[in-house]
Chain A
Amino acid sequence: MGQISFVINITVNFPATMSLETELTRVIELFQLPFMQRALMGGVLTGLMGGLLGSFTVLRQLSFFSDALGHSALFGISIGLLLGISPSWVILPFSVVFALAVTYILERTQLWTDALLNIIYSSSLALGIILLSFRDEYRGGLSHLLFGDILAVQTTDLVFSVLLLVACAGFIGLTLRSQILMTLHEPMAKARGVNVSAHRTAFIVLLALVVGISIKAIGVLLISAFVVIPACAARLLSRQFTHYILLSAVLGAISAVVGMLLSALFDLPSGPSIVTVQLGIFLLAALIPTARAIAS
């Protein structure tokens, strides 16, 4: 994986008087640039992976867990920088080890899950920022860590993301019945012979990898939105479990495409634009039942 770049900052300002056609032509030309194509691909891949795993994450009430993973990644990056190792090489193993350690603690503690996760994610963030303060050259890059820089996505990142998407889709697809059964009722799943512990660990590892690989593009603060919001919108629109999973992934991808287009059109930061589109889709999904009720 390439070095994380925190310096790319494309600012394209156009006069407000320009026609829509000119604006669209400009956006089309912009998406002919390789870095924009990579950014779009990166957004779509992150949206698909986030939506796919997010569907189960939300139902298993692990939303806060993905947030904690994102925040802890900052701590991992800081350790890597202090040790002189590229953050790209540190972040994935750190996320996986951290996720497994947190799962281990959560299964054995008598404290409330949300309280414990709060302790973990806020202290990870604090430690990460303190460690970063020892490296002057990265002080300015903190906002890139927090909010990501999707325009800095490299081809190597895309290859990793494609491989991870294949792994996620393969895992969910091939173990779909076990995953649904586990989500519904763990004892019934165990009675059917599902190795709940192994499936849970595999899911947590994949979720940690998705969060870890998406940090560069989306940032520490916004990554959990990719996992949670499309899944919640899909839930509001679905009656069947399988439809819900697919719709969650599709909404993740659609919001990435629309968010990137809006970002280019109005010269807005990409990650927040995508999350705002996710919010728009969620609000629409929430309004549909009300609109149906009024119409009938």
Chain B
Amino acid sequence: MAFDSQGSGRQPMMRSFRALMTSLLALLLLYLGACTTVQVQSALKSPGNLSSGENVVLLSNFGSTRDFDDSDVDNCIGSSMRQANPELGFVPARLFRENLFPYFMPGTTPHTLEDYKNVLNKAEVQQRITSLRVRYLVILTKGGTNTDWHGGIFCGAGYGGGGCLGLSWWDRRSELDFAVWDLQNKSFSGNVQASAAGKGIMPAFGLPIPIYSPATESAVCKELGARLAELLGRQE
């Protein structure tokens, strides 16, 4: 009997504890739901007339950022472009660079409109571009991720053991900017850029455990790839 009466006394306490935990979890989920926001901007002058058989090439640019190489660019936007539009044709970056040597090397990549015109007006260059059937060059012009840490976690250890206590959170912002060149018409088609911001959170009660880490870079890649596939893949 005594056991039953103790149990009935705990019930309201348990209920309020559950309610508190549920509301905390709901608040946390709400907070996390709004954690990563992506913004995409595109300004293409002449989007969308990629004919069948024409290809796109995706390049990194060491002059702009050294954090991304060709394979990073392909992993970033290439995979989501293929997913969004499986009919898009691509020329591998390595094949393009091999064909266009000495142009498009780290130290010889054109930057300005005039540079591009100078390169694209060369008969040998046009011949190689035509043989590869490359219509659009999508080249990285800006890219990177910044993280700002806030809060603090304090850790200590003694003979009896150790542990950490505190709360850290961080703001992460990723930004990527691509220029699109129409190599057949020897013209600049425009820019496509995207940025994503998110908050990460890591409480420490004993051990620091990150409960949310915003994947800003992959969010930017996905959105940019989908937008580029849509813009370049429209048929005439």
Q: Are A and B subunits of one complex? A: no
Partner-B contacts on A (CB < 8 A): none
